[in-house]
Amino acid sequence: MNIRAAKSIQAQRVATILVTCLVWTLSAGRPCAAVETVAFTLHGTHREVSGKVLVEAADGGMLLEGPDRQIWVLQPADIERRASNDEEFTYATRAEVEATVLRELPPGFKVHNTAHYMICYNTTRAYAQWCGALYERLYGAYFNFWRKRGLKLTEPDFLVSIVFRDGGSYATYGQPEVGDAVASVIGFYSPATNRIATQDLTGIEQVRQPGDRTGSLRHINAILSRPGAERTVATLIHEATHQLAFNSGLQVRYADNPLWLCEGLAIYFEAPDLSSNKGWRKIGAMHPLRLQTWRANRAARPADALLRLLTDDSQFRQVATAEQAYSEAWALCYYLINQRSDEFRNYLTTIGQKPVLSDDSPETRVQEFQQAFGGSWRDIDASWRRAADSWR
């Protein structure tokens, strides 16, 4: 699995959204809580959605959130007709979302519900149960982690994950959003649909062996606890962390979320636990792969590396710089969480209050960072590098 390519694709998707937002930010209208019914055609598919307008531009373009929490980015040419009423907008129930998702998916999908997740699958029920258990462990650990650090978050009603039985059906689903590179992505979180999409990991080449059976949780755990499989499990945790961050108030979809923060946090949470037979057990363990990459490049690290990390998201999307950028993001988050916890909490509160379609200048990003942690970015960088000397 080309993890670097997977992360680059996700960053490109976010960048495309932000480019569209730049046009709208200048003329964005007020958010609306009334129900707006909009008929539109997008990517060749006609839809009619009754939702709420998050932002409306002067030319009629809008961000429309449906009751299933999908967000539709609509240009004026996409919209065929619209009508509004005075009814208060409400989100759909779990049963209503289940019906919606199953209508959108090919025949043969079933649903496995847990306390906080809706797993839609066409693979084995045992694998859906394994995914549900993994996500639930993350869910509990995630909220406990932030609660202990004094950060008040909002728990979502439920979250949706779609699991395909094989790479072919998964690729067909992911093609419109991820493109041809979907073949190198074992899973992704979509800010647009608010769902995770992935494939049955027990069937991918990296972990599969002749004669494998996947009919029970015992067999699945045996396959995914093999050497080499921990990175695939970590990828699921990574994408599920993105989903939790955007559904708990930590970050806002379609706001100006610095990529170093988005990706650094997801990597911090994903760190594989090789002592666990499930490939992942706890949050915030040292990440040997990212630490090795970061240290290997320290000698050639530019003096303004932190400044670039704060202000330039493009390095996450370029093959030549992506691996180091992700390692820098992880290392910075690791330092701030473990040694500047109170300031980091305050910084996260600032980010979590960003409005939809915000687009901060590089100067604003640096100013907010320096205000949160005190001193100049150069002083913070020096303190970070000194602390990292003792990491093992």
Say if CB 238 and CB 185 are below 8 A apart. Answer: no
Averaged pLDDT for residues 186-212: 77
Q: What's residue 16's pLDDT? A: 39
- The CA distance from 40 to 220, in Å, is 43
- 28's CB contacts (< 8 A; 6+ apart) are 55, 56, 57, 357
Q: Which two tokens stand for residue 372?
A: 């949160």
Number of C-beta neighbours around residue 53 at 10 A: 22
Q: What are phi and psi of 232, to 5 degrees?
A: -70, -40
Q: What's residue 341's pLDDT? A: 97
Q: What's residue 243's pLDDT? A: 98
Is the pLDDT reported for residue 103 higher than 50? yes
Q: What's residue 5's pLDDT? A: 39
- What is the 3 state secondary structure string of 263-274? HHHHHHHHCCCC
108: left (phi > 0), else alpha (psi -120 to 50), else beta?
A: left
Domain coordinates in residue numbering, the chain: 17-88, 94-256, 288-354+363-388
- The CA distance from 201 to 239, in Å, is 14
Q: What's residue 372's pLDDT? A: 97
- 73's CB contacts (< 8 A; 6+ apart) are 17, 20, 63, 192
Sorting pLDDT into bands at 50, 70 and 90, what band is 182? confident
- The CA distance from 392 to 387, in Å, is 11
Q: Which residue is it, tokens 């499989």?
A: 229
CATH class of 17-88: mainly beta
Q: What's residue 19's pLDDT? A: 44
Averaged pLDDT for residues 219-232: 66
Q: What is the mean pLDDT of the chain?
A: 87
Q: What's residue 282's pLDDT? A: 77
Number of C-beta neighbours around residue 291 at 10 A: 18
Instruction: Give the helix/strand (H/E) hosting 354.
Output: none
Sorting pLDDT into bands at 50, 70 and 90, what band is 2? very low
Comparison of pLDDT for 67 and 214, the residue scoring more: 67
Q: What's residue 273's pLDDT? A: 61
pLDDT (tens digit, 9 = 90+) per residue, 229-269? 667 888 899 999 999 999 999 999 999 999 999 999 999 99
Comparison of pLDDT for 166 and 158, the residue scoring more: 158
Sorting pLDDT into bands at 50, 70 and 90, what band is 9? very low
Averaged pLDDT for residues 365-392: 96
Q: What's residue 387's pLDDT? A: 96
Least confident of 15-29, 148-162, 211-225, 374-388: 15-29
Burial class (CB in 10 A: 0-12, 13-18, 19+), 143: middle
Is the pLDDT reported for residue 213 higher than 90? no
Is the pLDDT reported for residue 72 higher than 90? yes
Q: Are strands 45-56 and 62-65 parallel, antiparallel or unpaired?
A: antiparallel
DSSP 197: E
- 62's CB contacts (< 8 A; 6+ apart) are 38, 53, 54, 55, 56, 74, 79
The matching CATH number, chosen from 1.10.3470, 3.40.30, 2.60.40, 1.25.40, for 94-256 is 3.40.30
Is the pLDDT reported for residue 109 higher than 90? yes
